[in-house]
Amino acid sequence: MDRKSLCHALFLTLVSAAGQLFAQSADSLPQQQGYRGEIRRGVDGKLMVLPESGMKGTKLGAEALPKATMVAGVGERIASITEAARLARDGEVIEIRPGIYRGQPVVWTQDRLIIRGAGERPIMLADGKSAEGKAIWVLKGGKVRIENIEFRGTRVADGNGAGIRYEKGQLTIHACRFVDNEMGLLAANSSDLSLEISDSEFTDAPRHAGALHHLLYVGRIGKFVLRGSRFENGYLGHLVKSRARENHILYNMLADGPGGKSSYELEFPNGGLAYVIGNLIGQSAATDNPRMVAYGAEGPVWPVNGLYMTHNTMINDHYRGDFLFVWIEKFPAGIDIWAINNLTVGNGDFFRPAQGRFEGNQSAARGELIEYGGLPARLINLSPLRGTVRPPGSVGAEDLLPNAEFTYPVGTRPLRGSSALAPGAFQ
């Protein structure tokens, strides 16, 4: 074969090989992705996909985010929140646009409601008005979830004006803020009620002489869960007061701050079951009452009672006080009190139970701690207290070992297990 014929044959061979290679590459390309839904920014600022299937939703943190069925507020056809509540039906998902909504009180009576603020948190400002003389919002419906909304400035004739008055159903509060209300949230007395609050802020009690304004007041309801939330700047009243049958106080920051003058940081006046795990609890130097956590002052109303406090960090800026005080004489049949692996800072007494467990509780000087959220809260890495305590075990089905810790300003993060377990709320 001459040179010209050889070159031509070689060219054809290369073209054929290239064609085969291109065909193989084309076959191995990934399939085109189908449409997955609308991209939106959630209330926490993160991007997410809202699927076409509406109620399916995707995750917003750990929560499902269904598609809005009603949009209300600034720039919308339904501009008034009062009007939105009048038009709402059972099962609505109501999205409220950012803005300040002055004097728009609401009574919600619907079931299966989700009410959420979109983007920057909308503010419900009382502006001298209230629903039924009680609150900015009064809840009388069924299952309701409220997300990313601020309630501010409630004042009413009886001095108990709340951001939210919760009277019926099951209520979930997530990522909300309660500021300068006579009562941040006030729950009624009914064992059918169930309240869960997460990643929320309660602050700035009004400074009315002689008045007791609690940042959160839970009546005699069936179950109360408080998680990943922050309380500060109380005045004469308590930061958290609960009369619930069953209480789960988990991974919160209940710390009055230098400007606060609250009474108790946490109180269970009627006993009940109380699981207090992994909290940062701080009392100010100007406190109105030197007791920090109080249990049973008014005697029991529930058939089963017990207090289980594990892995809390408790900081007392007052010159004296009680980290825990129990009115044991109000329980003539006796009561289980467990105080395990708590870390105390400052002066104060810790109630030692006649029956129950008192183990692994340690004290630390401020110099042994790293500041967190404005308080000396975390043990230094080389602290001799690390590895000195054992897991607290469980009571019934309740595991008392923390599986998360508070993150400032609100929220929680999971904890990984460690062989060097430390006392207090932070590992």
Concatenate the DSSP letters of all residues of 264-285 into one string: -SEEETT--EEEEES-EEEE-T
Q: Would you say residue 35 has pLDDT above 60?
A: no
Say which DSSP state 209 is in: T
| Average pLDDT estimate for 35-60 | 39
Among 52-56, 200-204, 355-359, the range scoring the smallest mean pLDDT is 52-56
Q: Would you say residue 7 has pLDDT above 70?
A: no
Best-predicted range by mean pLDDT (131-135, 205-209, 394-398): 131-135
Q: Would you state the structure tokens that stand for residue 344, as one six-digit string?
A: 């105390």
Confidence of residue 63 (pLDDT cuts 50, 70, 90): low
Rounded CA separation 133/139 (Å): 13
Four-residue CA torsion sign, 168, 201, 351, 353: positive
What is the number of alpha carbons within 13 Å of residue 239 lying toward its C-beta? 33
Strand partners, 195: 171, 224
| Average pLDDT estimate for 186-208 | 96
Confidence of residue 24 (pLDDT cuts 50, 70, 90): very low
Confidence of residue 209 (pLDDT cuts 50, 70, 90): confident
Q: Cβ contacts of residue 153 below 8 Å, gap of 6+?
A: 125, 126, 127, 179, 180, 181
Query: Which stretches of 264-385 are assigned E, i.e. beta strand?
Result: 266-268, 273-277, 280-283, 291-295, 306-310, 313-316, 322-326, 336-340, 343-345, 349-350, 356-359, 362-363, 369-372, 375-379
Average pLDDT, the chain: 88
Rounded CA separation 60/57 (Å): 9
Q: Would you say residue 232 has pLDDT above 80?
A: yes
Q: Would you state the structure tokens that stand for residue 18, as one six-digit string?
A: 């290239």
- The pLDDT, as a whole number, for residue 368 is 94
Between 238 and 353, where is the model more confident? 238
Q: Would you say residue 137 has pLDDT above 80?
A: yes
| Average pLDDT estimate for 174-191 | 98
Rounded CA separation 397/345 (Å): 31
Other C-beta atoms within 10 Å of 12: how many?
10
Rounded CA separation 404/278 (Å): 8
- Determine which helix (DSSP H) or strand (DSSP E) holds 414, and give its type and residue range: strand 412-414
Confidence of residue 288 (pLDDT cuts 50, 70, 90): confident
- The pLDDT, as a whole number, for residue 335 is 93
End-to-end CA distance of the chain: 82
Confidence of residue 29 (pLDDT cuts 50, 70, 90): very low
- The pLDDT, as a whole number, for residue 9 is 47
- The pLDDT, as a whole number, for residue 176 is 98
Domains of the chain: 37-61 (no CATH), 62-414 (2.160.20)
Q: Would you say residue 139 has pLDDT above 60?
A: yes
For 291, counting Cβ atoms within 10 Å of its Cβ (0-12 exposed, 13-18 middle, 19+ buried), the class is buried
- The amino acid present at 137, given as its one-letter code, is W
Instruction: Please tell me the pTM assigned to this model.
Output: 0.85
- The pLDDT, as a whole number, for residue 410 is 98
